[in-house]
Structures are given as structure tokens and as C-alpha cells.
A = this chain, B = another copy of it.
């Protein structure tokens, strides 16, 4: 069993193409003993955004702080706030952006691509 606060988890800038001012923390992952699932926390600074991209794995997202915008495959935007949950299916194009003035934080949980 492992217990840790966000503040004990290192943060790394997301340097993927199309990402701007996004930091990621692996809250629970393989280093904690989790074989199947990885829970990450993303912090998007005001003016920042994740890549507008697709991938073959599903995202389970939950807003933790601030507000943001979800852009879907059709380019439509939906505002997100604390207590909103988002399911992104495999291969659905999506982007998370923060046009607001406070940091936008969400957890994004995925299958461990190297799960045993």
C-alpha cells in the first residue's frame, strides 16, 4: 500500500508536439507497483493546451481544479470545471486547453501500455 500527496510526486513538462505549458505527474504508476493502470495529473497553465491528437487507448478524465475547455473531433468546445468527468474513446481526436486565468488540473487515467 502506498500513500502520497501530489506534492511528493515529481512534475515534468510535456514536450509532445502541439503541447504548450502542460506539466504531468504520474500519481500512481509502475513505480508504485501498479501493473494495470496509470493515473496521471495534468496541470495546464493559463494559455496552455495539450496536443490536438488521437491515440489508440482510452482516457478517463476528471477535473480536479480550475476550469478548461475540451475540444472534440469536430472542433466543438465544451467548458469543463471541477466535478466533470470525461471519457475519450480510443482514436477520438481531442484537446484540453486553458483559456482561463487559473491553472487547470485534471487526472487522466490510462491502461499501462506495458501491463503484464
Number of copies: 2
B4, B28, B83: the one contacting A7 at CB < 8 Å is B83
Interface residues on chain A, number (Cβ under 8 Å): 40
**Does A2 contact B86, Cβ atoms closer than 8 Å?**
yes
Flag whether A49 is at the interface (Cβ < 8 A): no
B residues near A89, Cβ cutoff 8 Å:
1, 33
**Does A37 contact B5, Cβ atoms closer than 8 Å?**
no
Flag whether A19 is at the interface (Cβ < 8 A): no
Chain A: residues with CB nearer than 8 A to chain B?
A: 1-7, 9, 27-28, 32-37, 39, 57-58, 60, 62, 64, 70, 72-73, 78, 80, 83-89, 92, 94, 107, 109-111
